[in-house]
Amino acid sequence: MIPPAPSPAEPVPMPFLHLLSLILILTSGVVQAADPVAYWDFGTEETAPLEIRGNVRRDQAGPRPPEFPDMAADNTAVQVDGGYFVVPDTGPDSDFDFTNGDTITLEAWVNPTSLGEGQPRYIIGKGRTGSPKFARDNQNWALRVVGAEGKAKISFLFASKFSSDGKHWHRWTSNEGFPVSTGWHHIAVTYQFGNPESIRGWVNGKPTDGK
C-alpha cells in the first residue's frame, strides 16, 4: 500500500541530498502490514535514533506551506553531503532482511541538488557497509535516485539468489522522474521478492513504469 504524496500548492554515502523522511514497510506475501517497519522523519534528534557518520546537517528546512499545505510550518529535514546514517541490524532474519515472497515498500521525500547522468545517489540501503565481516557486495536492497535524460529517476537495486550464470543483481529504473534542484519530491517503490513483474514506482504520487 502506497500512501499518496501530500498535494503540492545499512548505509551508503548520499552526497548533496536533502532527506525529509524515510518509510520502510515489510509485508509477507499474504498479510498486508498496516504500520511501517521503520519510519524516520528527522524532526528531532530523539525521534531519529540513527548513528551519524560524516557530514550530515540536521534541522534544515523541509517542504513547508504554502507549497506543501499538508506539512508543518516548521517542518525540518537533514542535508547529507558525503556523510550517512547507520541503522543497526539485529542479525539474521531481521525486519530488514528480505527473501522470496516478502514484499518491500520504500518511500521518501528528497531534494537532490546535484546529479550527473548515470550517477546514482543512495537514499537507503541494506548492506555494503564496508565491514570486513561481510563480503564487499553483501547488499540486499537499496532505494536510490539516478540521473537519466536530465532528470532524477527512481533506481531500485535488489539481490536474488545466485542463478546458473552467477548473476544476482537487479536494477530497476523508473521511466518518469523530476528535474534536479527543483525542490522537494516524493518517490516510492514496492516489490515482492521473486516476482519481477510486481515492481511499481511512484513519483510525486503518480504511478510510473520502469525497466
User: What are the boundaries of each domain within the chain?
Assistant: 17-87+103-208
Hunting for cell 541538488 — which residue is that? Answer: 113
Closest to 183 (Cα-Cα) out of 18, 47, 44: 18
Report pLDDT for 32.
Answer: 46
Contact yes or no for 11/24 (Cβ under 8 A)? no
Q: Which residues make beta-bridge pairs with 80? A: 17, 56
Grid cell locating 47? 525521534
Grid cell locating 52? 551519524
Grid cell locating 196? 519481477
Grid cell locating 133? 565481516
Report pLDDT for 86.
Answer: 82
Report pLDDT for 16.
Answer: 43
Strand 38-40 and strand 141-148: the pairing is unpaired
Report pLDDT for 8.
Answer: 38
Digit-coded pLDDT (tens) for 120-164? 998 988 865 555 555 555 567 889 999 999 999 999 998 766 555
Report pLDDT for 138.
Answer: 57
User: Which of the residues in the chain have pLDDT under 70?
Assistant: 1-34, 44-49, 127-139, 160-168
Report pLDDT for 22.
Answer: 67
Please, which residues have CB within 8 angstroms of residue 74's CB and are 6 or more apart in sequence?
64
Q: How far apart are CA 189 and CA 81, in angstroms?
A: 24
